[in-house]
Structure 1
Amino acid sequence: MPRRTARIRRRASGTLAALLAAVVVATGTPAAAAPTARSLGYGPLALAPSSPGDEGGSKNLRDTLEAVSKGHIEAKAKLDNSVKRQAALTAELAKVEVRLTELNAVVAEVAVESYRLGRLSAVATLLNSASPEAFLERAAGLEVMAQRDDKQLRALTEAREEATRAKAAIDNEVREQQKQLAVIAKRKTDAERALAAVGGKSSTGFVAANSPAAKPAPKNSDGSWPKESCTINDPTTTGCITPRTLHAMNQAQAAGYKRYVSCHRPSGGGEHPKGRACDFASATSGFKDADATGGDRTYGNNLAAYYVKNASSLGVLYVIWYRQIWMPGTGWRSYSGGGSPAGDHTNHVHLSMV
């Protein structure tokens, strides 16, 4: 009797487990289970009702958007760095010009004195010495004067050469800035052309003046972004992400955006397989197969605006939310991803990083 009871219990337990598994497959969440911290936050075991799918658009479009955004960001960093160098050179030139003015005045006095006394007057002065001691004293004085005059003349020559070099360096920086501005303009044109092919037009986008400021990610000394690879364990999946992507995600969490997020995907196009992209669900329960409305849409609006505001300090490549895409250089543009909530990004905010 006890063995029979045990078999019945095992069968019942197996049947119940199978029913629960079927419910999880059908709905994506355990039956009659309240959302847990893991199901709402990120973590390797986090649950979500459905996957956000691909980034939307064709592979060619995604590759183009990645290239133009990176090109813009790199050119902007070079432009900003050149502007800083020009400012430093201009300040240096100003100091040199002040020094030139002072040296010109000193050399002018030397010239007046030489004209008044004449270079031959030194010989006469020595010959007219009353004693050997006076001769030596006057000779020493004349040597000091000559050294002083030569020093002033050399200093004036060096200052003029320094000013010439500074002016040439400033001219080079101006040419560099013109070059990078041309690159930025071309990148913008390329992006607009690519988006126009899929109906992308200028849009109002999502802006929030009160978005909190994020802690900046580390940059190189010249203002460019360090090259990073997929080396950090992704806390949202079993994959990997870049350090900069992790930083951007953590900053959003610190700012209060703590709903479900998924980053690395082993396959597909775009930045996800590279560990440089994350999808932030707008709903508290995860990725719903429906357009966000009400508070969910407000959450997505604010999160998208947060990343746009902090784009330059975090290293944001582009943001997609609710049929619109933001890229540096173009701002918000309309964006169609195929008509589904996942493709059109109406159920999640997509973030791509440099």
Structure 2
Amino acid sequence: MTAPLRRWFTPALALFASAVMVAPFSVPAQAAPTPAAPTESDTPLLSEVLDQTGRRFLDAKAALEASKKRQGILAAELKKAEEQIEALTPQVAEIAARAYRTGKLGPVSALLNSASPDSFLDRAAALEEMNAVNDHKMHELNAARELADRAKALADAEVKEQEKQQTVIARQKSDAEKALALVGGKRLTNGFVNASSPVAKAAPRTASGGWPAESCSKDDPTTSGCITPRTLHAYNEVKKAGFNLFVGCHRNGGPFEHPKGRACDWSLLKSGFAPAATNAQRLYGNNLTAFLVRNADRLGILYVIWYKQIWFPATGWQSYSGESDHTDHVHMSML
């Protein structure tokens, strides 16, 4: 019996086999049950650590990108304000110098020096216009200075925010590497990425760029169970990209994201699961994995496992030696 078939035995069958070894007796041979999906044991790695670490890493990444975007807007505001200050400062300085040279003549003195009624009216109008221009220039300069001060203060705050998020990213990356080491994680450079893979339609995000929490509220097209809206979106995008072989998503019980409706196992066959036996099957898994990794940020993918390797946003590709070597399916977990 092959290793894949052995791991599909249920705990009850395993217990039965143990009883046979202790007290052997003759029983009719029984056919192995047809597997519905690969089985995977519960470990701290994927059931808790990667879930929490991945979410924090991606939240920090989204916050960092949003902060950089805000900083760019503030930099543009600051540049505009500084240009206004540079243009207005000489004008306001000239107004101040003129007022100093004329001894700061008030409106009454200026009007009394009029030689005629027409001159009086002309001077009154000119004085009113000059005061309006001077007030406007002063107001513009003060407003520009206030804008510059505000932009500088907010830009400084964004720098601190970015430093904070970068610290979170570094810590989550370190935590992920430690966790992956438990299942043979070792950094690899030959991960599955194909720049010619189709670009998937992006799944909805929050206003801040993060991923909203979702419940298992959509019918699973592969089983009678449920999946999250984000998982359904990813499923549809994978199908749209041409990967149309067998797939199973929701699975009751067990670890990982399957019972939460946040994972799918993409088989290499039209029905059931079996390790890659041909170059075409291996290439299918490679191409599917490359598509998922390239579009991970668009789809909200938490991690991908394929052919003894695992891709995680915080670490990239690393080796993987869990109970299932994932040579018979590509595993996709969602946020």
TM-score > 0.5 by shorter chain: yes
Question: What is the alpha-carbon distance in structure 2 between the residues aligned to residue 50 and residue 346 of structure 1?
Answer: 16
Shift of the 119–229 alpha-carbon distance from structure 1 to 2, 3 Å rule, reads same
Does structure 1 conserve the Cα–Cα contact (< 8 Å) formed by 2:46 and 2:256? no
Shift of the 272–104 alpha-carbon distance from structure 1 to 2, 3 Å rule, reads same
Q: Which among 165, 180, 185 is matched to residue 180 of structure 1?
A: 165
2:28 is aligned to none
Q: Compare 153-162 and 97-106 and name the one that shifted more.
A: 97-106
For residues 202-217 of structure 1, what are the structure 2 equivalents within 5 Å? Answer: 202-203=187-188, 204-217=190-203
| Count of aligned positions | 305
For residues 1-354 of structure 1, what are the structure 2 equivalents within 5 Å? Answer: 26=32, 28=34, 49-54=35-40, 56=41, 58-120=43-105, 123-203=108-188, 204-288=190-274, 290=275, 292-338=277-323, 343-354=324-335
Shift of the 169–258 alpha-carbon distance from structure 1 to 2, 3 Å rule, reads same
2:14 is aligned to none
Measured against aligned partners, the alpha-carbon deviations of 1:240-280 in whole angstroms (never above 9, x if no partner) come to 11111111111111111001001111211111111111011
TM-score of the superposition, structure 2-length normalised?
0.85
In structure 1, the gaps of 5 or more residues are 1-24, 29-48
State the 1:324 CA deviation. 1.0
AA partner of residue 350 (structure 1): H
For residue 197 of structure 1, give the secondary structure of its aligned residue in structure 2: helix
Measured against aligned partners, the alpha-carbon deviations of 1:24-82 in whole angstroms (never above 9, x if no partner) come to x7563xxxxxxxxxxxxxxxxxxxx442112x561454310111111111111001111
Measured against aligned partners, the alpha-carbon deviations of 1:294-322 in whole angstroms (never above 9, x if no partner) come to 22121111111110000111111000111
State the 1:291 CA deviation. 5.2
Question: What is the alpha-carbon distance in structure 2 between the residues aligned to residue 140 and residue 259 of structure 1?
Answer: 85
Does structure 2 conserve the Cα–Cα contact (< 8 Å) formed by 1:57 and 1:336? no
Does structure 2 conserve the Cα–Cα contact (< 8 Å) formed by 1:126 and 1:135? yes
TM-score of the superposition, structure 1-length normalised?
0.81
Does structure 2 conserve the Cα–Cα contact (< 8 Å) formed by 1:59 and 1:269? no
Larger relative contact order, structure 1 or 2 (CA cutoff 8 Å, min sep 6): 1
Question: What is the alpha-carbon distance in structure 2 between the residues aligned to residue 266 and residue 215 of structure 1?
Answer: 29
Q: Compare 327-336 and 129-138 and name the one that shifted more.
A: 129-138
Q: Compare 222-231 and 268-277 and name the one that shifted more.
A: 222-231
1:11 is aligned to none
Does structure 2 conserve the Cα–Cα contact (< 8 Å) formed by 1:283 and 1:292? no
Does structure 2 conserve the Cα–Cα contact (< 8 Å) formed by 1:191 and 1:330? yes
AA partner of residue 236 (structure 2): N
Measured against aligned partners, the alpha-carbon deviations of 1:6-27 in whole angstroms (never above 9, x if no partner) come to xxxxxxxxxxxxxxxxxxx756
State the 1:183 CA deviation. 0.6
Question: What is the alpha-carbon distance in structure 2 between the residues aligned to residue 162 and residue 90 of structure 1?
Answer: 11
Measured against aligned partners, the alpha-carbon deviations of 1:91-149 in whole angstroms (never above 9, x if no partner) come to 11111111112211321221232233231375543232224553344234223322221
In structure 2, the gaps of 5 or more residues are 1-30
Moved over 6 A (4+): none
Shift of the 327–296 alpha-carbon distance from structure 1 to 2, 3 Å rule, reads same
Shift of the 180–91 alpha-carbon distance from structure 1 to 2, 3 Å rule, reads same
AA partner of residue 69 (structure 1): G
For residue 325 of structure 1, give the secondary structure of its aligned residue in structure 2: strand
Question: What is the alpha-carbon distance in structure 2 between the residues aligned to residue 156 and residue 175 of structure 1?
Answer: 29
Q: Compare 268-277 and 97-106 and name the one that shifted more.
A: 97-106
Does structure 2 conserve the Cα–Cα contact (< 8 Å) formed by 1:245 and 1:275? yes
AA partner of residue 64 (structure 1): V
For residue 320 of structure 1, give the secondary structure of its aligned residue in structure 2: strand
Percent identity (aligned): 54
Question: What is the alpha-carbon distance in structure 2 between the residues aligned to residue 172 and residue 88 of structure 1?
Answer: 13
Shift of the 61–213 alpha-carbon distance from structure 1 to 2, 3 Å rule, reads closer
2:27 is aligned to none
